[in-house]
């Protein structure tokens, strides 16, 4: 834990980890990302919120090049995003991604799911990889499920395995694209708790979510998007108590009325 806690202290000195400059993306006639400028510092937790169709998931997916961009620049740790090939595979290992759907290999055990990438991409010794996998499965609270197959697990357990799998690659940044939206309500908290702990441990995280409680408690910064643009950015306290734009006020009044 200590080196991670130290890393949190160094945020100022180690600078920006993810930088998007003037990023544009179209799907046909639809301009889904419009001149996006966004900088994420090492150790920062940024939560991206906004109405459906605002471009949040697309933004998340451009950062590990699951979506290509039409113009602009994205760099990770000072290096521009590669286009394809081995460089791209390496980048994807540096950028952990957790999706709505768990995307686990159905025919492999939980342990194999978390071991595979370490051996194939990071070229780790299998025994080492399995040790790390078991440690991470314990950390996310599913160590006892290591020898089961994904279908034998609840949705919340599968999503925690997916988080362990991403962490196994020792990523520089973790992207979460609505990680709880496919889960039953009683399973949401078990996943959010793992994410809260990662945030406390100093992991750089970009989280697209509808979970406002998580945004309030875990984010260093809230980024509010609508119609493909970043409308405002603020600390959670500022954003939830005093949003500046009408779009944000309208959004919050709709979701916080209960």
Residue range 87-143, pLDDT digits in tens: 887 788 889 999 988 889 999 999 999 999 899 888 999 999 999 999 999 999 999
- 96: nearest Cα among 177, 194, 183: 177
Number of domains in the chain: 1
Q: How far apart are alpha carbons 178 and 171 in whole angstroms?
A: 19
> What's the chain's length in residues?
258
Which class for 9: exposed (0-12), middle (13-18), buried (19 or more C-beta within 10 A)?
exposed
pLDDT for 42 equals 95
Q: How far apart are alpha carbons 72 and 55 in whole angstroms?
A: 16
DSSP per-residue string spanning 28-89: TTEEEEEEEEEEEETT-EEEEE-STTSSHHHHHHHTTTSS--SEEEEEETTEEPP-SHHHHH
pLDDT for 12 equals 41
Please name every residue paired with 59 in a beta bridge, in sequence order, or none if there are none. none
pLDDT for 64 equals 87
Q: What is the CA radius of gyration of the chain?
A: 18
Q: How far apart are alpha carbons 246 and 64 in whole angstroms?
A: 32
Q: Which structural domain, as residue segments, surrounds residue 242?
A: 2-255
Half-sphere exposure in the Cβ direction for 215 (13 Å, CA): 26
Count H helices, E strands: the chain? 11, 10
Give pLDDT < 50 ranges for the chain: 1-13, 258
- pLDDT tens-digit readout, 110-119: 999 999 989 9
Q: How far apart are alpha carbons 55 and 184 in whole angstroms?
A: 24
- Strands of the sheet containing 173-177, edge to edge, are 95-98, 173-177, 204-208, 45-49, 221-226, 229-234
Sign, CA torsion 77/79/84/86: negative
Q: How far apart are alpha carbons 158 and 160 in whole angstroms?
A: 5
pLDDT for 257 equals 62
Say which CATH number the domain at 114 has. 3.40.50.300
pLDDT for 11 equals 39
* Token pair belonging to 2: 């200590």
pLDDT for 256 equals 72
Secondary structure of residue 168 in the 3-state scheme:
helix
């Amino acid at each position: 834990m200590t080196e991670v806690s130290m890393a949190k202290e160094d945020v100022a000195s180690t600078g920006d980890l993810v930088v998007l400059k003037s990023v544009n993306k179209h799907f046909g006639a639809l301009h889904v990302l419009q001149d996006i400028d966004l900088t994420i510092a090492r150790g920062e937790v940024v939560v991206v919120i906004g109405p459906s169709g605002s471009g949040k998931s697309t933004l998340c997916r451009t950062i590990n090049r699951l979506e290509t961009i039409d113009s602009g620049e994205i760099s990770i740790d000072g290096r521009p995003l590669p286009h394809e090939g081995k460089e791209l595979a390496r980048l994807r290992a540096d950028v952990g991604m957790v999706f709505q759907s768990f995307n686990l290999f159905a025919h492999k055990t939980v342990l194999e799911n978390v071991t595979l990438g370490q051996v194939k991409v990071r070229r780790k010794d299998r025994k080492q990889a399995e040790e790390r996998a078991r440690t991470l499965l314990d950390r996310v609270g599913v160590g006892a499920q290591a020898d089961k197959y994904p279908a034998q697990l609840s949705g919340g357990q599968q999503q925690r395995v997916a988080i362990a799998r991403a962490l196994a690659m020792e990523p520089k940044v973790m992207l979460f694209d609505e990680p709880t939206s496919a889960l039953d309500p009683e399973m949401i908290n078990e996943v959010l708790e793992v994410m809260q702990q990662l945030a406390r441990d100093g992991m750089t995280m970009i989280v697209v979510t509808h979970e406002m409680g998580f945004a309030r408690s875990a984010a260093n910064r809230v980024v509010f998007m609508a119609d493909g643009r970043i409308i405002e950015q603020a600390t959670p306290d500022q954003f939830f108590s005093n949003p500046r734009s009408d779009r944000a006020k309208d959004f919050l009044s709709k979701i916080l009325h209960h």
